Amino acid sequence: MYCPSCRTEYREGFTRCSDCGVELVNDLPLEQEPEYVDLVTIYKGNSNSAAVTSARLTSLGIESWIKDEGIQCVFPNLGPAEVQVCMQDKELTLQALGTTTTGAESLDEETV
**Which residues of this protein are in contact with Zn ion, per CB under 5 A?**
3, 5-6, 17, 19-20
**Beta carbon nearer to Zn ion, 3 or 42:** 3
**Beta carbon nearer to Zn ion, 17 or 85:** 17
Least Å distance between CB 20 and Zn ion?
A: 3
Least Å distance between CB 8 and Zn ion?
A: 5
Are 39 and 87 within 8 A, CB to CB? Answer: yes
Least Å distance between CB 7 and Zn ion?
A: 7
DSSP result, 32-89? PPPPP--EEEEEEEEHHHHHHHHHHHHHTT--EEEEE-----SSGGGSEEEEEEEGGG
Are 2 and 27 within 8 A, CB to CB? Answer: yes
**Beta carbon nearer to Zn ion, 22 or 87:** 22
